[in-house]
Chain A
Amino acid sequence: MITQEDIEKYIQKIPPAPKAVQQTLKEIKEGDLLKAAKAAKEDLAFSAYLKELVNKPIYGFRTEVKDTGQIFGILGLSQSQQVVYNYLLNTLSPKKWSFFALNKRNFNDLQDHLSLSWSKILKYLEIKDKEIESSITLLPASIIVCEALFNEKKEEVDLIRSAKNLDLNTILKRLSGYTLFDISVMIAQKWEMDPKIIAIVKASSGIERVENKEIEKLAKWMHLLLFFILSQPQYIEAGLNDFIEFQIDFVSDIYEDFMEIMEIGENE
C-alpha cells in the first residue's frame, strides 16, 4: 500500500524553504524584526499571508494591520517566528484536501488554535523560549504528510479500519517502518528547523521514550493539546480525531493542570 520508496520519493519532492522566508527567519533569530519585515516583503505570497493571518478575529486586533513591519512589531520575536513556520507548513499543504475533509481556511484555523493555546500553556509553565514556542507549528505537518500519503488509499484504509481499530500512524509504521512523526522530522530537517523543535514534536507522538525530562514534559502538553483541539466538532468532522492514537497514560499526570488552563469543568 505505502512503501519506504514512496516515502523517500515524497521527502525528495519537498521544496526547500523559499529564500525570502529563510532570510526572514535568519533576521528573527538575530532579533532584528525590521530586517525580518524587509525580507518578508520580498515574497508577495508570504507578506499577503501575514496580513491575512493577523487580521483574523482570533488575533483580536481592532484595526486592520497592513504593514509587514507593523505585523512583526505587534507579534514580537517568538510569535513572528511561529507565524513564519506556519507559513512554511502552509506551502506544503495540498491545494485540495481529499483524505481529510479540510480546506485551506480550516487548516489555517487549526494552526492558529494550536499556536494560541500553546502560548497559553507556555505562559502557565512560565517558559519563554522562542524555539519551544515555535515547536507547535511543526505538529500539523503530520496531518499534511498523512493527507499526501493516504489520499488515494482511503478505501483501503477504511477496509482495514473496519476490521481493526488502527490509527494511520500505526498503519504507516507497520507498512513502511516510518511514523508520521518521523516524516515530519525529515521535513523539519530539510527546512533546517531548530533541533529542539524537532525533538519536542517527535516526542509528542507519545509512543517513543524520551530521555530529556524537559522535552518529555513539553511533549505531553503538546500531545494533550492536540487531542483537545482535535476533539472540536469541526476537526472531528474533518476526520482528524483518530488519525493518530491518543496515548491517555502518557498525559495522565498533566490532565488536572490542563483542565484548569483550558477552563474545562470536571466531569459533571
Chain B
Amino acid sequence: MRAVVKNGIGVFHPQGFLDGNSVASLISVDDIEATLKLKVDMVLVSLKRVIFFNRNGLDQFVKMFMKLRQEKHMIIGFCDYDDRKYQAIKKFYAKEMNFSLFKTLTIAELFSNHFNNHNKTVLVWSDDKSQRAAMAIELHDRGHNPIVAQNLNDFQEKSENKELYDVVIENSYLGSMGEQIAARVTSNAVIYTVSEFLDTDIATQFNIEYHNNSLNVGFRLFIFDAYKVVSMNVHAVNFFAKLASSGAEYNATICFVGLSFDKIPERFKEEMEDSGILFYDAMDDVLGNKELLHELGAASAVAKKNQRMINKKIVSHLPQFIDAIVTTLEMMTNAKAIKEEVKIEKIILTQKENNLLASSIGFYDDMDGIVILVFPKNIAKKACELLIGEEVNDEELILDSLAELVNIVGGKLKTLLSDIKVNISITLPRTYDNMDDVLEVIGEKKGVQVDLKFDNDHFTFFLTR
C-alpha cells in the first residue's frame, strides 16, 4: 500500500480489519522505502475506513512511524477517527505515545508546511494543559491564530459559536513534532520559524524541496523568524550563506528577524551579511513596510537577474512531456487529444484570460524547469470530474483538483523520463486563477508552447525554465 500525497502530507488509507497479520501485508518493506523518499513533512494513517484494530495492528504502523521520524524528521501519526478509536489508541499507548493524533485530516493540515493553509482561526481544546500550550505554539509558528479553551466549560461555550472558527481541535494529540522548520506565506514572502540552537541539523530540518519550489513558483523574499534562536554554530552559518548564494540566481533575498547576537559571534553576522543576508529587529519592520517589501522583491516575482532560458536538453525530451500531459488528460477526460501547434516563443494566450485557470509544477535534478498547464474553465472542470466525482462550479475545488491533476502529470513524466535514464524530482504543484500571476512567473522567458484540442476545446501547456 502506498501513501497518497496531497499538500505535503502522505496519507495511508487502510480499510476493514487491522491486526498484526493484515498490517504486515499492507505495509511492505518497499512501501516504507517509498514513503521515505516522499517529499512530505507529515505521514499519517487514516482510520476512517477501519472498523476494527488491535494493538498488534497499530504497532506495525508505529514501527514505520519511528523509522520515518528517525530518518526524515517527519510528523507522524493517525487521523480520521471517532471517539471510540481515539480512546482505544490512548489506552494502547498511554505512556509511550511518540506519534500524533489528529481527529481529522483538516486538523492535521494546520500543522503542515503548505502554502494554502495558513491564517486560520482555530479553537484548541485538550484536557492536558501542556498539550493545549504545545498546539497553540505550533499553530502560531505556522501562521495561524489559535484560541485556547481553558477548561471544558469554556470549550463547550466557545464551540457553540462554530462560525467564529475555521477549525475546532479536540480529541487530538501532538506527539513529537517533526523537526522540520515550520514555514508560512504572507505578503508574498515565505517565513520560516527557527528556534533554539542552530547547528548542523539545520540542513536536515530545513525543507529544501519546499524552498526550491517557492523559488520556482516565484517567491523572492524569505524571512527567518529567529526570535527564539539562542545561538548558532559555524555549520548553521555556512548553511544560511549557501542558501543565500543559491537563491541569488533567482534574485531572492533572505532576511533574519529578531535574531539576538548576544551569544552569536560578530564574525558570524559579518559572514552572513557578506552572503547577502539582511537582519531586522522586528517582523513588522519588513512586513509593515511596503516600500521595503517591494525593494526586497516580495511585490514582484519577475525581477530576476539571470533569466534562465529553455535549453536543448529540455526540448529533446519534449515527446515525453507531451506524452505525459496528453495521456493524463485523455485519461482524465476520456476524450482524444489532437496536437494543434508546437512553437518556441513567449507564452501567448489566445483565449479570454478571465476564462482560464492554470496549474504548474517544477522539476529538477538531471534537468530543471517548469510545466504550466493552461485550461479553459470548461476543460478544467471536465478534467477534474474524475477526481471530484461530479460536475462542480466551485472554483476553489476545481483549482484544488487541478493541483492533483498536475501532480499526476508530474508522476507520469517522472516515470517516462526514468525509462530513458533521466531522473527528475518534482516540486509541489501550484494553481492560478489569474493569468497575470502565470505571466508574472514566466516573465519574458521563451518556452515551448503546445496547443492541444480536446473535442472542441483548446488547451495549452507551456514548458520553460
Contact = CB atoms under 8 A, between A and B. Distances in A.
B25 A233 contact: yes
Nearest to B21: A233
Contacts of B389: 170, 174
B75 interface: no
Contacts of B14: 241-242
A175 B54 contact: no
B34 to A, nearest CB: 10
Given A3-B334, A163-B404, A241 B387 contact: no
Contacts of A234: 25
B374 interface: no
B2 A237 contact: no
B193 interface: no
A248 B17 CA distance: 11
B13 interface: yes
A224 B16 CA distance: 8
Contact of B22 (A156, A236, A242, A259): A236
Contact of B17 (A165, A227, A237): A227
A264 B25 contact: no
Contacts of A241: 1, 14-16, 26
Interface in B291-344: 327-328, 330-331, 334
Contacts of B6: 163-164
Interface in B1-55: 1-2, 4-6, 11, 13-18, 21-22, 24-26, 48-55
B5 A162 contact: yes
B16 A160 contact: no
B138 interface: no
Given A165-B13, A175-B386, A267-B54, A231 B22 contact: yes
A196 interface: no
Contact of B54 (A161, A162, A251, A268): A268
A232 B389 CA distance: 30
Nearest to A161: B4
Nearest to B13: A165
Interface in A148-174: 155-156, 159-166, 170-171, 174
Nearest to A235: B25
B16 A255 contact: no
B49 A166 contact: no
B16 A227 contact: yes
A255 B71 CA distance: 39
Contact of A267 (B88, B385, B411): B88
A66 B356 CA distance: 71
Contacts of B5: 162-163
A165 B386 CA distance: 12
A146 interface: no
A245 B49 contact: yes
Given A159-B328, A163-B411, A245-B49, A231 B334 contact: no
A163 B22 contact: no
A262 B448 CA distance: 61
A246 to B, nearest CB: 4
B216 interface: no
B463 interface: no
Interface string A175-217: 1000000000000000000000000000000000000000000
Contacts of B2: 161-162
Interface string B50-88: 111111000000000000000000000000000000001
A228 interface: yes
Contact of B334 (A1, A163, A227): A1
B408 interface: yes
B22 A174 contact: no
Interface size grouping (class) on chain A: 35 or more
A149 to B, nearest CB: 13
Contacts of A163: 4-6, 387, 404-405, 407-408, 411
A259 B48 CA distance: 19
B51 A164 contact: no
A230 B25 CA distance: 12
A224 B387 CA distance: 26
A181 B315 CA distance: 46
B13 A242 contact: yes
A175 B14 CA distance: 24
A253 B53 CA distance: 18
Contact of A231 (B1, B17, B387): B17
Contacts of B405: 163
B458 interface: no
Interface in B380-415: 385-387, 389, 404-405, 407-408, 411-412, 415
A231 B1 CA distance: 13
B55 A268 contact: yes
Given A162-B5, A163-B6, A233-B21, A1 B331 contact: yes
B404 A165 contact: no
Contacts of B52: 259, 264, 267
Contacts of A160: 331, 386-387, 408
Given A241-B16, A267-B54, A164 B24 contact: no
Q: Most chain-B CB neighbours within 10 Å: which of A165, A230, A268?
A: A165
Nearest to A173: B389
A155 B15 CA distance: 22
Nearest to A244: B15
Given A162-B411, A227-B16, A233 B24 contact: yes
A247 B327 CA distance: 32
Given A232-B22, A259-B52, A242 B408 contact: no
B386 A255 contact: no
Contacts of B331: 1, 156, 159-160
Interface of B: 1-2, 4-6, 11, 13-18, 21-22, 24-26, 48-55, 88, 327-328, 330-331, 334, 385-387, 389, 404-405, 407-408, 411-412, 415
- When A and B form their complex, which 5 residue pairs have the shortest distance between CB atoms, in order from nearest? A231-B16, A233-B25, A231-B17, A227-B16, A236-B25
Given A161-B4, A174-B386, A241-B16, 9 more contacts: A159-B412, A160-B386, A163-B404, A164-B387, A165-B13, A231-B16, A237-B25, A241-B14, A248-B50
